[in-house]
Structure 1
Amino acid sequence: MYIIKLDAIASTNTYLKDLASVTLPKDYTIVVAEKQTQGRGQMGAEWHSESGKNLTASVFKKLPSINVGDQFYISMTVSLAIFKALSVFKIPQLRIKWPNDILSADTKLCGILIENVIKNNSLQGSIIGFGLNLNQKFFDNLPNASSMSLLTGVIYNKDEVLFEVLKQLRVYFNLLESKKHAEIKLEYESLLFRKEKPSTFRTSKDESFSGIIKGVTDYGHLKVWTEDELIKTFDLKEIMLLF
């Protein structure tokens, strides 16, 4: 394990990507920043985090034995690891919102951005970025955001939370590297937010429809039982879960 701590940086993921473009970092190289000026989320969204109050970090994980086609299993693995770490700190009502947001009830605690390093159609490794709300108290214009501290009243030590996340990443990546794909997918699906509950979705064409989440495909598409009694699959660009 090799930890790089920075006061401020544009993006911890970008920092690791720049390193990887020269030579692959050591396994479990970690970059932690007190402040990110250009933090990124899924689909190019910005990640807003109050300086010094939260855990913003990226981890480089070498994955020479994982097939390029199994990239969504990396996402499931990371989601499960962070979910388990938060469970250790007794955060209530945890769920995973597809594809990899971590919620408590219906408020967002953690966003994850995974960028895979692929050369010659071979997966070299993954840059795993996550923003975990620890001690922030106010989320202006973010009504669906919360923090560990708001939920429990505890002030958390960032290093303690980071090391628990890293511990669980090792556990779950060991499962992935042992080809326990079915076990990973079964656990992930069991923790999906609003699974088997009637939910409303919005399409990329700004149309709404109702359906019931049934699970995911191996490639990360969401399986939804729709009103016409067909199970349809959607990728991240096609629909948004509205609750």
Structure 2
Amino acid sequence: MKLIKLDAIDSTNDFLKALSSRDELANFTVVTAENQTKGKGQMGSKWESESGKNLIMSVLVKDFIPENEQVFNLSLIVSLSVIQVLKSLNIPDLSIKWPNDIMSYNKKIGGILIENTIKSDGRIVSVVGLGLNVNQTNFDELPHASSLAVILGNTLEKEILPELIIEKIKEKIDSWSVSASIFWDDYFHSLFRKGIPMPFKNLDLNAGVQNFMGIIQGVSSIGKLQVLLEDDSVSEFDIKEVQMLY
């Protein structure tokens, strides 16, 4: 694993994307930063992190996604890999809030942002960004957030995490062809609030009903959230169409 350590950067994802466009980087090249000034989350949201306290990393993944319809497979693999590493650290009550937020109890402790680029030869190259709250303890402005240190009651050596996570990602990619159905089952069973009635907000401005009740049933093969509605129909939503209210 090639590791590039930075003190501060605007975005590790942007840095790695720019680097990969100029150089023939090795697969699973990792960039970490102590501070990130323009961290990104899903749908353009900001990822806030105290300098030096948390894991901020991006990893280059090549030669795994063969076509656009399968891009969610990588999101699934990365989410499960992070969950597996955190379980080994005795983090309790872990779940994945669709599509790929990492939760402990009902608190967000990590987020994943995957950006895909289609090369001129048709190959899909991915940059996987991961933010994981490790040793930050002040979340006064973020009531739905927590960290490994808060949950465990002690600080951790965050430097050990990138290698552990990349090792699990590699293992799952290597065994995907024979274990895909098992990984999908693991992802379904790990879904936050799956099977529990909960409110949602419809983000589609053309929709008549903005807030509605539903029950998460699962996720489609292309990553859409499947929700059982009050009329017993099941609707599918992408990340830009719906928001969980909890």
Q: TM-score range by the shorter chain?
A: over 0.9
Give the Cα–Cα distance (whole angstroms) in 2 for the partners of residues 111 and 212 of structure 1: 23
Which amino acid is 2:232 matched to?
E
Q: Mapping of 1:87-126 within 5 angstroms?
A: 87-120=87-120, 122-126=122-126
Q: What is the CA-CA distance between 1:199 and the residue it aligns to?
A: 1.0
| Number of positions where the alignment pairs a residue of Structure 1 with one of Structure 2 | 242
Percent identity, aligned pairs only, is 42
- Separation in 2, partners of 1:123, 1:197: 39
Q: 1:234 matched to which residue of 2?
A: 237
| Equivalent residue number for residue 155 of structure 1 | 155
Q: Which moved more, 1:122-131 or 1:228-237?
A: 122-131
Distance in 1 (CA, whole Å) between partners of 2:123 and 2:133 is 30
Asked if 1:198 corresponds to 2:197, the answer is: yes
Once the two structures are superposed, residues 126-159 of structure 1 have per-residue CA deviations (whole angstroms, 9 ceiling, x without a partner) of 1010000000010131000000000001211011
Match of 2:133 in 1: 133
In the alignment, residue 11 of structure 1 is paired with which amino acid?
S
Q: Describe the SS at the equivalent of 1:122.
A: coil
Q: Secondary structure at the match of 1:35?
A: strand
Aligned to 1:23: 23
Instruction: Return the TM-score normalized by structure 2.
Output: 0.94
Give the corresponding residue for 1:7. 7
User: Once the two structures are superposed, what CA deviation does each residue of 1:40-98 show, in whole Å capped at 9, x if it has no partner?
Assistant: 01101000000000000000011256333200111101100001111110101100000
* Counterpart in the other structure of 1:37: 37
Cα gap change, 1:8 to 1:165, in 2 (>3 Å): same
SS of equivalent residue, structure 2 residue 173: helix
Comparing 80-89 and 154-163, the one that deviates more: 154-163
Residues 179 and 66 (structure 1), Cα distance of their counterparts in 2 relative to 1, 3 Å cut: farther
Do structure 1's residue 189 and structure 2's residue 192 form an aligned pair?
no
| Alpha-carbon distance in structure 2 between the residues aligned to 1:78 and 1:196 | 23
What corresponds to 2:174 in structure 1? 174
Give the CA RMSD over aligned residues. Answer: 1.5
Q: Distance in 1 between matches of 2:182 and 2:122?
A: 24
Equivalent in the alignment of 2:222: 219
Distance 1:69 1:179 in 2: 19
Determine if contact 2:67/2:124 at 8 Å carries over to the other structure.
no
CA–CA distance in structure 2, aligned partners of residues 114 and 84 of structure 1: 19
Q: TM-score, normalised by structure 1?
A: 0.95
The gaps in structure 2 that reach 5 residues or longer are none
Q: CA deviation at 1:186?
A: 1.2
- Tell me, in whole angstroms, the C-alpha distance in 2 between the residues paired with 1:124 and 1:234: 24
